[in-house]
Amino acid sequence: MSTLANKVAIVTGASRGIGARIAVALGKAGANVVVNYVTSRDAAEQVVSELGEAGAHAVAVQADVSKPADAARLFDVAIERFGKVDILVNNAGVLIFKRIEETSDEDYAQTFDINVRGTFLMLREASRRLENGGRIVNLSSSVTRLMVPGYGVYSATKGAVEQLTRVFAKEAGGCGITVNSVSPGPTNTELFNQDKNEETIKRLAEMAALRRIGEPDEVARVVLFLVSDEASWVTGQNIGVNGGFA
């Protein structure tokens, strides 16, 4: 894997879970990293500290990506601190595990605001400010390939993210920018585990060909590949990182 030395990355939702491990993987590969968080400042600073111990430069930035001014500020800080932005990983997201009949208007609005509007706003900023030859990876989910009760609204938002990915790949390709999405299966994170009992988690694990739940670092390694030079001919794709879940 080629180094990411002198590259600058923004990772949204990077204070914990998959986002945190992506931020660490990019930093250890040489990138300067903007670690985005909304409320988990201490957790974000822990990620920055881990990156510092690995010899990487990083900064934690509070921003709600569903707000245009905050999305723009992430790019402002990255450029002010590191001079440019080469890599964008849209990881910020929420998961409300409810059947459609139980989903409130507020649940629906929050999920679409963060998962879809947040991705859209960051892509719009990237269209203006990402370096030529840059890399974008959006986080989707393998539930878009299945009909799993409780994931109706969430899977709808991730389906939208996949379509934004495909279209933006065409729009940004003239600048040498690649745009891909990654679809994790069940992964051992706080976001995945919330609102689920042991029986539900076991059932989802058994749906994977490898009969287990994935780990955040396994997803991070695929993202690292997609932002590297080795993936220069990969764009507009959705990569399942799910142990054969779907």
| Catalytic residue selected from 37, 108, 151, 154 | 154
φ and ψ at residue 23, rounded to 5 degrees: -55, -45
3-state secondary structure of 135: strand
Mean pLDDT score of the chain: 95
Contact indicator for 183, 140 with CB cutoff of 8 Å: yes
The tokens 């892509």 sit on which residue? 123
pLDDT tens digits, 186-214? 999 887 887 778 898 898 899 899 999 99
User: What number is the average pLDDT over the span 143-163?
Assistant: 95
User: Distance between alpha carbon 131 and the CA centroid of its chain, in Å?
Assistant: 19
Active-site residue flag, 154: yes
pLDDT tens digits, 65-116? 999 999 999 999 999 999 999 999 999 999 988 999 999 999 999 999 999 9
Fold assignment, 8-184+216-240: Rossmann fold (3.40.50)
Contact indicator for 38, 212 with CB cutoff of 8 Å: no
Tokens of 77: 């800080």
Contact indicator for 26, 86 with CB cutoff of 8 Å: no
Q: What percent of the chain has pLDDT over 70?
A: 99
Q: What is the pLDDT confidence band of residue 1, given thresholds at 50, 70 and 90? A: very low
Q: What pLDDT sits at residue 214? A: 94
In the sheet that holds 178-184, the strands lie side by side as 58-62, 32-37, 8-11, 87-90, 135-139, 178-184, 238-241
Q: What is the pLDDT confidence band of residue 2, given thresholds at 50, 70 and 90? A: low
Distance CA 125, CA 73 (A): 10
Whole-model pTM above 0.85?
yes
- Asked if residue 119 has pLDDT above 70, the reply is yes
Q: What pLDDT sits at residue 22? A: 98
Q: Where are the domains of the chain?
A: 8-184+216-240
